[in-house]
Structures are given as structure tokens and as C-alpha cells.
Structure 1
Amino acid sequence: MLAIINGTVYTMNGPTIPKGIVLVDDGKILQVGSDIDLPKQAEIIDATGKFVMPGLIDAHTHVGIMEETYRIEGDDTNETADPVTPHLRAVDAVNPADLGFLDALAGGVTTVVTGPGSANIIGGEMVIMKTAGIVVDEMIIRFPAGLKCALGENPKRVYGNGNKMPVTRMASAALLRETLVAAQTYQEKIHRAAKENSLPPERNLKMEAVVRVLQREIPLRVHAHRADDIMTAIRIAKEFQLELVIEHCTEGHLIAPQLAAAGVKAIVGPIISNRAKVELMNRSLATAMTLYDKGIPFAIMTDHPVVPINLLSLSASLAVKGGLPEEEALKAITINAAKLLNIDDRVGSLETGKDADVIITDKPLFDPKHQVERVFVNGCPVLAI
């Protein structure tokens, strides 16, 4: 049993507690408050003058799949032999020994979404996992957590250079729609076989992955920077009645009313970025603020290793510079990120019954001089400085 006492506790589900107590037992949060009787057997951590928060959530990364040091051997991000690979699974590529996981803990990030890159129209299934552990199967929170897709420049560049479809944005959308229709047909054959008590169709791993999206078991998570690509994703999601999450959403501030009307969610970033390609020319620190103003659910990402994962809090603070209220920026990397990912029953806030993922900092998180001094994942100490 562990008791963190006397710190300023940001619960992220209610008021901040000036001299709060977080009581942890068996990997879960037992109590949070200011007037708690401490069991005699509890290990005490005095956080006087420090700040206590839930572990941070990075809602879009490639940690464990795109390793920084091993540029070839450790890069399993994109299967560029085929533009449609929905049956690929992030869990089969994650290396828990990737140094990026240590960087995550150093930055207070205890939960990540990681998955395929954006070379393919459909890249594969993403996973939500903790950042501490030695076996990926024991680190998983939710799998599959979404089907990664991509529109815009990347698929065109990867396949168009070889004169292979997609060469155009029209072909990108057509490949996605074609695959969704094929999955609908596969699904209908399974239903018909069950109804008629006949043999089902031969298993098709590609179609099984897409059917999970059609049945709204997981969202379609579409990489899209430019406004027209975002609208293409919305158009297709509406046609097939899919749950849609826009990844990056760089020009989301230009079409925020349309995003709100479509009921989509967004994961904004990387915020620390230059105009590395044409579709980033309208990047803005005000994107997150504009989405917030229109009531659009969003989280903030690093896209690690594009931006190092330990800079997630800095990324969120730059959204504050763009006008986003500080509390909302904190929520975008904690409780609101958890809600968007449908894992808020386990992480994202300091509440009774949730996983004891807790960080302690010496200064407020958005102070550029802050240090993450202690990190606990599932109640276990994984970092102390």
C-alpha cells in the first residue's frame, strides 16, 4: 500500500486538491482526497511542494515500432509492398525494449497509442498500451484500438513514384471505399451462412479487420492534414456509418463547423513541427483552441519519434500559447484523451478504482523548467530521480 501525501493533486475529474492524498493498493487507486485515514502499513511519499497528476496519455505515436537508433532493423512502421494492409497488427511489431518507452516515462507518459505509419491507404490495427513492461502482451490496455488509414500526400508519394495505385487523391479514396465494400460483402456472406446453416466463407484476415470497423467495434483512424482530405474521410465515414477519428487534423481550424456537424473526433499534432510538406503549410497553434471552441472532442499527440514523446507536455503547452485554456490542454493529454480512446474507465484521472498511474513533478507541468521526479505505473515505481 502506498500513500502520496501533501502534494497539489490534479485529479482531472474535479477540483484540484491543495494538500491532497492519493492512496494506492494492489495497483489501483483506493482513495483520493484531503482527509483520509492512512493505514499503518502504507508506505508514505511526502510530496510537499510538488504536483501530483495522473500519468499522461499520448494518443498517437509509433513508439516501439519506429525505433530511433535502428533506422532499418528497428523500423517496422510501413509495409510498402501493398497499399491496403488492414490485417497488420501493431502488437506484432512493438519492441518493449525501444528506448522510446524510457523517454515516455521520463516525460510522465504512462499510456500510448502506437501503430502503423501513413504510407498505406489502410495500414493496420493500432494498440493502446502502458509504457512500462517487458512483454507487450502484458502492457496492452486495448487491442485493437482502431484501424489506421491515410489520405493525402504520403500514400501518393510512396506508391505514385512507382506508378502504382494510388497516384491521385481520387484513387486513395477509391481504394478505401473498395475495401469497405468488399468487407460489407464478406460480412453479408457470414450472416447468410449463419442464417442458412451453411458453410461460412473462407477466413479472410484483411476483411475481418475491416468488418470490426463496419460493426463500430473500433474507429477508423484516418491520417489527414489538409481540409479537403479531412472532408473526404468524413464523406466516406458517413457513407459507411463509421466511427471516425481524424489523426493530425492540421487544417481542422479551417473547417471546424463541418467537423462539429459531422460529430468526428480529432487527435491534434505534432504541434512542434515545421512546414515540411505542402499539406502542413496552414499549420497553426490555434487548431486545438478552435476545435475546443466548437465542442469537438480532441487529444494532443507527439507522433513520436517525429516529436520525442517526452515533449508531450511541451506540445500541450504550445496549444495554450495558441489560445487553449490551460485546464483543457491538461485534459487533452489526460482525461479527455482517455475518453476519446474509450479507456477512461482505467486511466486519465485520479479516481477510486482506476489504474494507479501517477506522476509527481517538482513544478506545474506547463512550467518549462519542470522535472518529472516520480512515475508509478499500476502502482509500481518505474522512475525516480
Structure 2
Amino acid sequence: MRRLTRRSAIATALALSACGREAASQPAYPPITDTPLKSIASTPVGACVQHAFLQDPAYAELFARHYSQLTPEWEMKMEYILQDDGSFRFDRPDAIADFARRHGIRLYGTTLVWYDQAMPAFLRLDGQGKAFANAYRNYILAVAGRYRGQAVGWDVVNETVADNGVDLRASIWTRNLGVDAHMILAFHHAREADPEATLFINDYHLENNPTKRATFLRTVERLLKAGAPIGGIGTQSHLDLDVTRPGLCRAAIRELAGFGLPIHVSELDISLGDKPDFARLPELLKRQADLTRELAGAYMDLPARQRFAFTVWGLRDSDTWLHGPSGQRPSDQPLPFDAAGRPKPMFQALAETLSA
């Protein structure tokens, strides 16, 4: 997740701009066979969901047809679950988990600890030592424990490296529990809550920023040496045709796999750029598909035991967070399906590569 404000993004994520609608109504490519992706992929394939989207039968049918894993986009995060008085709200997370269960889809949870979410219930405990630490543990036990036996994995610690690529982020968690200590504790608490789930540390721009990737890898190494039960590494893979050069994805996957841990491509989308020239849409979609092939190919080159799952961050172009106020790219087309639910060249690239 780049800089997100989920509550403010939901309404705008449900609609396309006029430009986006026009592009969606006139595909810039020949028809692509809509073969169920999960039936041909030799690895779990997933996408994120919102509770509101699942109320649309066409959306729910398209999701269940193609994906074998789902990640709640924001409703399993602290911003939704933890109320100001310290109580927990599980109505929407439970409904999403129930949809997964009814359709035989794996549930993946995100995220237990994120620097960007300091809720009032924790702010009231700021500086209170043991009380803060107890609330931290209780929250992780309550959330991860609720889906014990169903969630196959969790983003336990999310986005710990700062955008400068050098520093680790400061937060209410680091201030009260310590920079490394809050992460080590989070992994131990998550393991206590669910001994079977695979526990991930997750970050973004690991492909585009080698300095950030190096800092991230040093952090993982340090946490592992300290005994943190990290079970996997997540790379969000929010890519951008303006930034992501050929070869960057392959190099990143190779380095991230160096610990021998499972790899989760956890939030893939590929933006067409800051101000895409839609007169060149066929070329842009081809470049998008080529970049998808590179990333998916690098993932598939991993040993089978390291291929945890390959997840895209949204179902259709109309559902992307990039259309929201935090993304400000209202006509972007970053996902494998267009606004009408038709497969794009990006989908074809996934089908060809993940079935290898």
C-alpha cells in the first residue's frame, strides 16, 4: 500500500472517470479467452476485496471464478477493527472470511502492525509501558486468533522501511516498544495466536529502490537472528511504467528469495503512468503485460516451496485504489480486468506465466 486513506477512497473507487469508461467500452486489444486463472495457475493466485464490492453478484462471480486466495483490502486492518473505546468490530472481516470459506478460497490477512495506523485506543496508552504492551499483545491475539485455522498467512509487520530507503519508520509502536522489539514481539504474538499461519514482513518499492531493498533485507536478517518467527517475505509490487525499468523485478525477486523463505507478491498493480497518453493505449498495455511477465516469471523461477502466492491489488480497473483521492489517477488501468470485467493483456500474461 502506498499512501492510503481507505475510508475516503472507497466511494471514488466504485466509479470510473469518463475517460476510464470510454476506454473500458472500447478495448484496445483483441478478445482474450476468459479461462479461469486459478484452474491453470500452478501457484495460489489472489486479489484483494472490499466488503462493498462483494455485494455485487457480477463482482463476486468474477472473483470466485478466477482467484484461489483473497486479501481484505482494508477491513481487516486496525482502522476498521479497533474502535475508539478499545472494543473490536468484526462484522465485515467475518463476512469476507465467510465468502472465502463458502467458495473454497484461501484467506490471507493484512495487516496486524502498520506504522500508519495509530488508533485512539492506543494513543490513550502512549507512554504507559506495560499497559501499552499488554494492549498490543491482546490486539494481535484477538485478530489473528479469530481466523486461526482459516487464514493461511498474515502481513504481521507492514512497511517498516522509510521512503528514503535508509531509515526505519518511527511510530507509536517504535516509541513504546522499540524499533526492532515491536516487530519481534508482533511476530511472537502472531505465532501464539495462530501456530499454523505463515507470518510475513511486507513492504513496497522493493523493486524500484535497491537501497530500500537492501535496508529491508538487513532488517529481516536482524529480526531472524533475534528469533522472530518470520515465515515469509512479501513484496507489494506497486509498479509504474514511468519508473519500473525492465530487469528490476527479476533482480528484486532473486535477492528477496535469498533467505530461502516463501515469497508473496502481495499487492500487484501496474500503473500506466502519471499522465498516460491514451492514444498510445495498445502500446501501454503491451508494456504492462511485458512487466507482468517479468515479475511473474521471476516468481515462477523460484523453487516450489518458496512460491507462497501471487496477489493483485484489485479485481477490475474500476476497483483500484489508484482512482481514489490518495492515488489521484482516476483514469488509470492497472489491473488484469477492465472495468467491464473483461480480461486484458495483463491477464493473458499472468495466465501464460503462472501456468508454467
Q: TM-score interval w.r.t. the shorter chain? A: 0.3 to 0.5
TM-score, length of structure 2 as denominator length: 0.41
Higher relative contact order, structure no. (Cα contacts within 8 Å, ≥ 6 residues apart):
2
TM-score, length of structure 1 as denominator length: 0.39
User: Greater share of strand residues, 1 or 2?
Assistant: 1
- Which entry has the higher C-alpha Rg, 1 or 2? 1
